[in-house]
Structure 1
Amino acid sequence: CRGKGVTLVAGGAKIPDTLKAVEQLLKNGLVERVAVGGLVGFVFALAKYGIVNSLLKREVERGGYLPYIERARQTLSKYGAQIYTPIDFAVDQNGRIDVDIYSLTQVPLDIGRSTVLQLKEIIEESEVVIFSGPMGYIEDDRFAVGTTELLKAAANKRLILGGGHTILAAEKAGVLEKAYHVSTGGRAFIQTIGGEEMSAVKVLLTSAKKFWT
Structure 2
Amino acid sequence: MKYFQMHDFDFKGKRTIVRVDFNVPLENGRITDDKRIQAALPTIRHILDNSGSVILMSHLGRPKGEGPEKGLKMDPVAKRLSELLSKDVRKLDDCIGDDVKKAAESLQPGEILLLENLRFHKEEKKGDEEFAKKLASLADLYVNDAFGTCHRSHASVAQITNYLPSAAGFLVQKEIDMISPVIDSPKRPYIAILGGAKISDKIRLIESILPKVDRLLLGGAMIFTFYKAAGFEIGKSLVEEDFLKDALRIQKEAGEKLVLPIDVVVADKFDADAKAENVFVEEMPAGWIGLDIGEASIKLFQTMIANAKTVVWNGPMGVFEFERFATGTLEVARSVAELKDATTIIGGGDSASAVAKMGLADKMTHVSTGGGATLKFFESGTLPALECLEKNHEKFS
Which TM class, normalised by the smaller chain length?
0.7 to 0.9
Q: 1: CA distance between counterparts of 2:309 and 2:259?
A: 17
- How far apart are 1:8 and its partner, in Å? 0.6
Structure 1, unaligned runs of 5 or more: 201-213
Q: Among all aligned residue pairs of Structure 1 and Structure 2, give the percentage whose two residues are the same amino acid.
A: 30
Instruction: Spell out, residue by residue over 1:28-57, the C-alpha distance to the aligned partner (whole angstroms, 9 max, x if none).
Output: x2x211000001222233334x2337xx3x
Q: Is residue 314 of structure 2 the alignment partner of residue 129 of structure 1?
A: no
The corresponding residue for 2:366 is 181
Q: Give the alignment's Cα RMSD to 1 decimal.
A: 2.2
Q: Which structure shows the bigger proportion of residues in helix conformation?
A: 1
Q: How do 1:92-103 residues align onto structure 2 when only pairs under 5 Å count?
A: 92-93=267-268, 94-103=274-283
Q: How do 1:35-184 residues align onto structure 2 when only pairs under 5 Å count?
A: 35-48=217-230, 50-52=231-233, 56=235, 59=236, 63=238, 65-93=240-268, 94-104=274-284, 105=286, 106-157=288-339, 158-184=343-369
What is the total number of aligned residue pairs between the two structures? 189
Q: Is residue 195 of structure 2 the alignment partner of residue 11 of structure 1?
A: yes
The corresponding residue for 1:207 is none
Contact preservation (8 Å) 1:96, 1:143 = no
Cα distance change on mapping 1:156 and 1:199 into 2, 3 Å: farther
- How far apart are 1:174 and its partner, in Å? 2.4
Contact preservation (8 Å) 2:192, 2:313 = yes
Q: 2: CA distance between counterparts of 1:51 and 1:44?
A: 9
The corresponding residue for 1:190 is 375
**Partner SS, residue 311 of structure 2:** strand
Tell which deviates more after alignment, 146-155 or 97-106: 97-106
The corresponding residue for 2:170 is none
* One-letter identity of the residue aligned with 1:23: E
* One-letter identity of the residue aligned with 1:175: L
Cα distance change on mapping 1:33 and 1:64 into 2, 3 Å: closer
Tell which deviates more after alignment, 6-15 or 110-119: 6-15
Q: 2: CA distance between counterparts of 1:122 and 1:26?
A: 16
Contact preservation (8 Å) 1:42, 1:86 = no
**Partner SS, residue 39 of structure 1:** coil
Cα distance change on mapping 1:45 and 1:121 into 2, 3 Å: farther
Tell which deviates more after alignment, 91-100 or 4-13: 91-100
**Partner SS, residue 290 of structure 2:** coil
> Which is higher, the Rg of structure 1 or of structure 2?
2
Q: 1: CA distance between counterparts of 2:363 and 2:244?
A: 35
The corresponding residue for 1:209 is none
